[in-house]
Amino acid sequence: MSAYLSFEKHIRELENKISELKTIGQGSQVDLEEDVRKLQKKLKRLLRDTYANLSPWQRVQVARHPMRPYTLDYIREMTTDFVELRGDRRFADDKAIIAGMARFEGMTVAIIGHQKGRTTKENIERNFGMPHPEGYRKALRIMKLAEKFGFPVLTFVDTPGAFPGIGAEERGQAEAIGHNLYEMSILKVPIVVSITGEGGSGGALGISIGDRLLMQENAVYAVISPEGCASILWRDTEKAPVAAEAMRLTAQHLFELGVIDEIVKEPLGGAHRDPKRAASILRRAIRRHLSELMKKDPDQLIEERHKKWRAMGVFGE
């Protein structure tokens, strides 16, 4: 584990100590196995305590962890025969969104997801997972393809937001997102949305209209980034932790507000500590929801999806 978060100081110390002891143990006659086991037990407890009591801002840090699994990691862990499909057939291919077909639990599915990079080079190519209009149009193209041939759609949501740039505005970022919301609401095949990291505003929503919304326990989802909210309402980006608290952006909050259907567990200490296991837990959740949805005919599916979205919001009358 390379990158520790600021609140993981004690975890880092303990993990360092364990690996130190292991190294010493290998080179000497002294048996340190018992000590290592003790420390590992302590580490587990520490991880459990820390991660059970994360503040919303700490969750934001976990959701943005550079080692957190991304769409391509989930594709690799959950599917076989993945074929990436590129381009919106209008202007370009946007590498901030991955799209394609694969085999999931024996079924052919369409997969769409934001993709961040891990290295600087990758991040430049992926634009830090911030799509341009072409990304949303490619996503829609693949969803329409899925509809035509009857495959369900799986989406993976992890973006700081749609990219705020000149080209993005010239080519209709707003229209591209709005158009996706509209089309996804009447797509005749099941859509299962998994929020796996940062659910950043309209940029996340643009591939998030579905029959089921699953959210990993350390993912976040809000109308604007905590920094953006802090800069507008507090006029101070330093207030991001306070804004994160105020926006109720955690999976638990979204579940209570009736926005998501299920909170998906992560391995102890976050998905980045065990990506394989994170993928396996998420895969099982997706499979369960998908098998329920596959039993419905398209009319029923769309009717229920409509009802689900129609009911969102809190007001008095």
Partner 1 sequence: MVRLWFKKRPFSKVKDSKQRVPRGLWVKCENCKEMVYKEEVERNLKVCPKCNYHFRISAKERIELLVDKGSFKERDASISPKDPLKFKDSKRYMDRLKEAQRKTGMKDAVICGTASIGGYPVELVVFEFGFLGGSMGSVVGEKVTRAVERACESGTPLIIVSSSGGARMQESILSLVQMGKTCAALARLSEAKVPYISVLTDPTTGGVSASFALLGDVVISEPKALIGFAGPRVIEQTIRQQLPQGFQRAEFLMEHGFVDMVVDRKVLRETLRRLLSLFENGRRAWAL
Distance CA 65, CA 220 (A): 12
Distance CA 157, CA 122 (A): 18
Closest approach of Cβ 133 to partner 1, in Å? Answer: 9
Question: Using the rule CB under 8 A, which residue among 1, 24, 30, 232 binds partner 1?
Answer: 232
Nearer to partner 1, 205 or 279 (CB): 205
Residue 237 found at the interface with partner 1 (CB under 8 A): no
Residue 164 found at the interface with partner 1 (CB under 8 A): yes
Residue 222 found at the interface with partner 1 (CB under 8 A): yes
Distance CA 8, CA 215 (A): 23
Question: Using the rule CB under 8 A, which residue among 54, 140, 142, 229 binds partner 1?
Answer: 229
Region from 20-28, 165-173, 265-273, 281-289 binding partner 1, contact rule CB under 8 A: 165-173
Q: What is the DSSP letter of 85?
A: -
* Chain center to CA of 22: 35
Distance CA 223, CA 204 (A): 9
Q: Are 254 and 215 in contact (CB under 8 A)?
A: yes
Q: What is the DSSP letter of 172?
A: T
Region from 48-56, 103-111, 166-174, 288-296 binding partner 1, contact rule CB under 8 A: 166-174
Residue 32 found at the interface with partner 1 (CB under 8 A): no
Region from 9-17, 63-71, 74-82, 161-169 binding partner 1, contact rule CB under 8 A: 161-169
Residue 63 found at the interface with partner 1 (CB under 8 A): no
Closest C-alpha among 123, 206, 127 to residue 172? 206
Q: How many residues does the chain have?
A: 317
Distance CA 280, CA 287 (A): 10
Closest C-alpha among 176, 150, 143 to residue 162? 176
Residue 249 found at the interface with partner 1 (CB under 8 A): yes
Q: Site for partner 1 (CB under 8 A): how many residues?
A: 55
Binders of partner 1 among residues 201 to 220 (CB under 8 A) are: 201-202, 205-206, 208-209
Closest approach of Cβ 183 to partner 1, in Å? Answer: 7
Question: Using the rule CB under 8 A, which residue among 67, 246, 263, 268 binds partner 1?
Answer: 246
